[in-house]
Amino acid sequence: MSDAVFHPDVDELPLSKVLAALADPARLAMVRAVAGTDGLSCTLLDRTAGLELSKSTLSHHQRILREAGITRTRIEGSRRVLTLRREELDARFPGLVAAVLASPTEPTRAAAKAAAAR
Amino acid sequence: MSDAVFHPDVDELPLSKVLAALADPARLAMVRAVAGTDGLSCTLLDRTAGLELSKSTLSHHQRILREAGITRTRIEGSRRVLTLRREELDARFPGLVAAVLASPTEPTRAAAKAAAAR
């Protein structure tokens, strides 16, 4: 991935695109994990969110969130570090991120697998 | 459509399902149109939301919203009347509906077509 990662202008984002990006248990878990931090690497994010995703799946989710203006990806050496674009999102969609973060969590695939193995 | 239309228990709905149902410009317009009313028929809803959708497309969107616990469909003679399940949604996902309703509207296909024809 090049240093010039595309980030859309949140002021021009349609709500439907943001909602579509959020409409996935793994991506919701990533947003929750990254919220309130000053950045999490993809690897650390996977662990914090309890996702146990492959690198390619994680990369896919990272791209969807980034292209929908939800997270910002910065390159630090070989790591991709994600932050939540909280202020910009709050300005365009007041209350949306807060509502998402306040909502009940739902089991991700890894959590469901662990529960089944118990 | 039978009188026994399926409505899920909002208390058991995962957020991702609700977000997926909302992640569409036409369905967002339907939710905005029906909010604050005590019910809108599909025909009236189409007109209020400025959608100009076919009956089958409207019926499809109605089903997605209903199965995601966002709207309730009641049968009145030959009409299907939609209401927003606002209180139940507010209880499970505090602030979510308010955030969606407060967000900037986005052009639906009919609006985009009208703008292009000008």
Q: What is the pLDDT of residues A59-110, one digit of tens each?
A: 999 999 999 999 999 999 989 999 999 999 999 999 999 999 999 988 777 7
Strands of A40-41's sheet, edge to edge? Answer: A40-41, A79-84, A71-76
Cβ within 8 Å, pair B95-A106: no
**Greater pLDDT, A97 or A45:** A97
For residue B94, the chain A residues in CB contact (below 8 A) are 99, 102-103
Cα–Cα distance for residue pair B90/A95, rounded to 1 Å: 13
Task: Give yes or no for residue B1 having a pLDDT over 50.
Answer: no
Task: Give yes or no for residue A3 having a pLDDT over 80.
Answer: no
pLDDT of the residue at B58 = 93
For residue B25, the chain A residues in CB contact (below 8 A) are 14, 16
Give B110 to chain A, closest Cα distance, Å: 16
Identify residues of B whose CB sits under 8 angstroms from chain A CBs. Answer: 14-17, 19-20, 22-25, 28, 92-96, 98-100, 102-104, 106
Query: What six digits make up the tokens of B74?
Result: 């009641």
pLDDT of the residue at A1 = 46
* A8-34 residue pLDDT tens: 999 999 999 999 999 999 999 999 999
Identity of the residue numbered B25: P
Cβ within 8 Å, pair A15-B103: yes
* B73-114 residue pLDDT tens: 999 998 999 999 999 999 999 999 999 999 998 877 777 777
Phi, psi dihedrals of residue B69, rounded to the nearest 5°: 75, 15
Cα–Cα distance for residue pair A81/A37, rounded to 1 Å: 11
* B9-51 residue pLDDT tens: 999 999 999 999 999 999 999 999 999 899 999 889 999 888 9
pLDDT of the residue at B115 = 73
Task: Give yes or no for residue A4 having a pLDDT over 80.
Answer: no
Give B96 to chain A, closest Cα distance, Å: 5
Give A80 to chain B, closest Cα distance, Å: 25
Closest CA to A106 of B18, B22, B99, B9: B18
Task: Give yes or no for residue A35 having a pLDDT over 60.
Answer: yes
Q: Kindly indicate the confidence band of residue B5, based on its pLDDT and cuts at 50, 70 and 90.
A: confident
Chain B residue at shortest CA distance from A95: B99
Task: Give yes or no for residue A46 having a pLDDT over 80.
Answer: yes
Phi, psi dihedrals of residue A23, rounded to the nearest 5°: -80, 55
Give B111 to chain A, closest Cα distance, Å: 15
For residue B90, the chain A residues in CB contact (below 8 A) are none
Cα–Cα distance for residue pair A16/A106, rounded to 1 Å: 21
Identity of the residue numbered B17: K
Note whether A52 and A110 are within 8 A (CB): yes
Give A102 to chain B, closest Cα distance, Å: 7
Identity of the residue numbered A23: A
Closest CA to B26 of B115, B94, B107: B107
Cα–Cα distance for residue pair A62/A83, rounded to 1 Å: 11
Give SS3 for B72.
Answer: strand
Cα–Cα distance for residue pair A9/A7, rounded to 1 Å: 7
Cα–Cα distance for residue pair A91/A10, rounded to 1 Å: 9
ipTM: 0.90
Cα–Cα distance for residue pair B117/A30, rounded to 1 Å: 42
Closest CA to B34 of B4, B93, B74, B77: B74
To probe the interface with A, which of B9, B10, B17, B19 has the most A CB atoms within 10 Å?
B19
Chain B residue at shortest CA distance from A17: B23
Task: Give yes or no for residue B2 having a pLDDT over 70.
Answer: no
